[in-house]
């Protein structure tokens, strides 16, 4: 039997799609606080049953990390289609930030998402899980390119540096007034690509 959603509160449209539920939940987390907002609160605000919500998202952390799987799949596809003669670091610096492109109407939610992940101490274990998945994708690509085992030092180091570069740029952008993270990502990956030989001249 199909799970019937609860009636949405008057004046609030029902959020039927998982992406809509996640967007609504992120707004609630930002307004009320992550720890203070329950899954029941999210379900009621979205006009769906708790069973439906838990089918979409097993936990609040899964809501915060909504879309990561899509991003990772896009990253893996892009790495597999990278030209064979493109230098390794050039490919990584081109592809990694490109998979973080969002529509203009998604920027406020992305900013909220980044701020939440960066500020919720209890999210640390979930961040580690996401890093491990990301590193696995990149290190497999580096292994294909270099022949070095994916679990050896170079692939692991480079993969983790790419993650750190992406995330640091997103956090810096989320704390700024910039409309998009594009400039922060471009600057961060240029520093990564050139080996951080010297600090920026305007530092």
pLDDT single digits (tens) 62-88: 998 888 888 899 999 999 999 999 999
pLDDT for the residue numbered 105: 85
Q: What is d(CA 95, CA 72) in angstroms, rounded to the nearest whole number?
A: 11
Residues of the chain with pLDDT under 70: 1-15, 123-125, 196-203
SS (H, E, C) 52-118: HHHHHCCCHHHHHCCCHHHHHHHHHHHHHCCCCCCCHHHHHHHHHHHCCCCCHHHHHHHHHHHHHHH
pLDDT single digits (tens) 37-65: 999 999 999 999 999 999 999 999 999 88
| Six token digits for residue 118 | 């960066």
pLDDT for the residue numbered 6: 43
| Six token digits for residue 91 | 């490919």
* Complete domains list, the chain, with CATH: 18-63 (1.10.10.60), 67-193 (1.10.357.10)
- State pTM to two decimals: 0.82
What length is written for the chain? 203
| Six token digits for residue 132 | 């491990």
């Amino acid at each position: 039997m199909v799970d019937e959603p609860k009636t949405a509160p008057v004046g609030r449209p029902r959020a039927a799609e998982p992406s809509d539920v996640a967007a609504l939940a992120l707004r609630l987390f930002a307004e009320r606080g992550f720890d203070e907002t329950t899954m029941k609160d999210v379900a009621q605000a979205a006009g769906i049953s708790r069973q439906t919500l838990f089918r979409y998202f097993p936990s609040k952390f899964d809501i915060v990390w909504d879309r990561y799987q899509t991003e990772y799949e896009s990253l893996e596809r892009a790495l597999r289609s990278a030209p064979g003669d493109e230098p390794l670091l050039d490919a990584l610096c081109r592809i990694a930030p490109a998979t973080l492109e969002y529509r203009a109407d998604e920027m406020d939610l992305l900013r909220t998402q980044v701020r939440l992940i960066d500020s919720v101490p209890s999210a640390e274990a979930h961040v580690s899980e996401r890093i491990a998945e990301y590193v696995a994708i990149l290190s497999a690509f580096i292994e294909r390119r270099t022949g070095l085992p994916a679990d050896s030092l170079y692939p692991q180091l480079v993969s983790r540096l790419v993650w750190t570069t992406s995330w640091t740029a997103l956090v810096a952008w989320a704390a700024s007034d910039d409309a998009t993270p594009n400039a922060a990502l471009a600057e961060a990956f240029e520093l990564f690509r050139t080996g951080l030989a010297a600090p920026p001249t305007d530092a």
